[in-house]
Amino acid sequence: MSGSELLLDYLARYFPVLLFIGVALAFGVVTLAISYLVQPKYPETEKLSPYECGSEPFSDARMPFPVRYYIFAMLFVIFDIEVIFLYPWAVVFDNIGLIGLVEMLVFIGLFVVAYVYAWRKGALEWD
């Protein structure tokens, strides 16, 4: 087999992923397209104005977010990187055995320390 055929054979294993992406895209596009095609169109200024729970819009939607949200984003990034380390660990878990379990427990233990610190410092509070 040539390199090109090997690559195709390899990519064929990604067909389920492709199917997922296709279905997700099609769901969004088809839903919007159908609602666009079948909706009755009687535009009025009042109908086209931004709607939120029936109250009148009183300011621009683009207002600065509180800086508090950024702490959550940063904590999310750090725990996301922890997940990245869990992924190859889970893949090779059968080969590394008990030592692998212990070292991952140490790894997660340090993250628990970080989590407790964040909790005690009130970084997760919303006062």
Partner 1 sequence: MAHLFFFYFAGVIVLTSILVVALRNPIYSALSLLIMFFHVAGLYVTLHAEFLAAVQIIVYAGAILVLYLFVVMLLNLKREERYHAQFPIGALLGLTIVTEVLLLAFHGSSPPEPAPSGTSTPATNGVTEVAGVTDAVAGPALSAVEGNTETIGESLYTTYLFPFEVASLILLVAMIGSIVLAKKDIFEQQ
- List contacts with partner 1 (CB under 8 A): 3-4, 6-8, 10-11, 14, 62-65, 67-71, 73-78, 80-85, 87-89, 91-92, 95-96, 99-100, 103-104, 106-107, 110-111, 113-114, 117-118, 121-123
Q: How many residues in the chain?
A: 127
Report in angstroms how near the CB of residue 72 gets to partner 1 at its nearest: 9
Report in angstroms how near the CB of residue 78 gets to partner 1 at its nearest: 5
Whose Cβ is closer to partner 1: residue 27's or residue 70's? Answer: 70
Report in angstroms how near the CB of residue 8 gets to partner 1 at its nearest: 6
Helix (H) and strand (E) counts for the chain? 5, 0
Whose Cβ is closer to partner 1: residue 34's or residue 105's? Answer: 105
- In this structure, what DSSP letter does residue 60 have? -
Residues 6+ apart with CB under 8 A from 92: 100
Q: Do residues 94 and 123 lie in contact, with contact meaning Cβ atoms separated by under 8 Å?
A: no
Distances (CA, A) of 77 to 37, 52, 70, 105, 121: 41, 31, 11, 20, 18
Whose Cβ is closer to partner 1: residue 27's or residue 34's? Answer: 27
Whose Cβ is closer to partner 1: residue 48's or residue 63's? Answer: 63
- Residue 5's identity, in one-letter code, is E
Report in angstroms how near the CB of residue 57 gets to partner 1 at its nearest: 17
